Structure 1
Amino acid sequence: MNQYISDSKRAELDPKLLILDSAMQARDVSLIKDKQVRAAQEIKQDAQDREILDDLRNGLGIKQPIDVFVVDGKHYVVDGFHRTGACLKYLEENPDSGLTITARVIENRTYQEAFAAAQEANQSHGVGVTNDEVMQSKFRALIVGEKSSLSVSQVAEKVGCSRGQANHIARGLKACREALGDEHEYEFNDLARFAESLKEGLEKKHYLPTSAWDSKGFPKIRPLSDAVTGKGFLPKDMNNDEWEQHQIKGASEAVSRLVAQYGEDYFREGLRKAVKGLGLGVSVTLRNKWLEEAGAMEGDEAPQDWDSSSDNSSSDPDF
């Protein structure tokens, strides 16, 4: 953010002309896992908002200027969301007041620059922005800024985190690059469309439950990293539909391993006996009939030098 200040100019702006893009807010209380801490932060923020509005009602005005980036003629607030919001509420109460807000205006910027600057500005102050919120905010900025080719060491230096955290971030950035492809069919002034394209691309390659996305529509760092490495999600991370799909996927993978372990012939005969009488609606043809239809007279041969000590079959004699 500081690199733009020398190019800024002071101006008195009409708050109604300013754009409050929620995607630019670093604050994302949904990332706070502790419910009590999350509730406390929301209460503090509400109290701060009321204080700003009360100051306006008492004629004190906004003491600190906001920062505004001009992108294609549109004025985006990158620092001063709550101050601007309070001004808008005051104007609802007093539409003829002619209230303006002092701003540092940085002209001729791109949406990517505005987004990155907003992430940086909103990390450094505010009501108790947590480390999880800061890290996720930086992750969003790297994705939008197309920094997906950074190495683990470069991520650690740029983000200011441990190497372990940097490894998760670098892995997530690479997954995002692969999901978006080389040619992007979006414009960065439409962040909702960008986030939607990113989500569609990631979900084609990885299993990501609803809980893996932040309130801006971006993937969370650790869930994305875990999905890329194949680490499963615990039931507590999923809703009912997601847990159902997780269980089906797990059962399918387990069955595939059994087919590979025992071979098609022995697996299907074992399956026939296992499901018999369970009322599952699963019907498996008798082994002899299946072998005949398959053009074979006998099943798989025992491995050379096989002995009972390597038997992996069930202890159930009927299986």
Structure 2
Amino acid sequence: MSKNVFRFAPSPNGHLHLGHALSALLNARAAVALNGRLLVRVEDIDRTRCTPELERDMFEDLAWLGLQWERPVVRQSDCFAFYRAALERLQDTGLVYPAYLTRAEIKGFVSEQEAAGEAWPRDPDGAPLYPGDAAVLCDAELRQRAVSDAPFALRLDMKGALERIGARPSWQEAGAEGGGLFEPPVSVEADPAAWGDVVLARKDTPTSYHLSVVVDDARQGVTDVLRGQDLYHATSVHRVLQDLLGLPQPVYRHHRLVLDTDGRKLSKSNGDTSLKALRAAGMTHAMLRRRIGL
């Protein structure tokens, strides 16, 4: 019988914080409980923000937490060929199109619509859905951008993707923090349309988080994805891509988040409660476990 395979997949674009510690320890605990395997994957697509120094600090933090994981570690920066191949398969279906609107143009257009009293739809993360180039740019401007090597994103035609799949996808959700590890998962109906036409890649980067994560999980044989509740709704997008690419579906578990004193999700960009700083200040394992509710 094949073993359960869990993975902890941080990005070295900032120092790990208490929320990462919770996720890492829950994955490790689940792997031990199910006599499974634990992988660590480095999600370093953003080569500008992800640095060798931050990766080194990340592994020091994980070692301090006592994690034991399999080697070698997979780095996404070494896997662009796999993402490019998956993207080409999706392009062959006719479901991927270039989108030339900049973030500023999208924001400006949506602000105008909302100022005029129109409620513009937003995705589960609060970002406005893509309006389509034709809503903002005239035909001449679109042609000019296409021939002038302007920056673009490659987006998935979500309506077309759902029509191709032929049925609304669902995923298998199990208990996140131990209570459901030995119980059958329940089916959750996905809502990919809530995300609109998501970005799959950009002109200079052949992948996005959504595309790379489903390719990586399939390539590494991941059977159980245990991650934060902030990625719960993103599972809808991942299920569409898995169906379009013919990839296996893991069982998902979404754990609670560690919040700051104001009830906000911890953030690398704000330097919130980094493990490196807490270790330097003398935090012990026992203190950390109490702080994150373990």
The interval holding the TM-score normalised by the smaller chain is under 0.3
Give the helix-richer structure, 1 or 2. Answer: 1
TM-score by length of 1: 0.20
What is the TM-score with the length of structure 2 in the denominator?
0.21
Name the structure with the higher strand share: 2
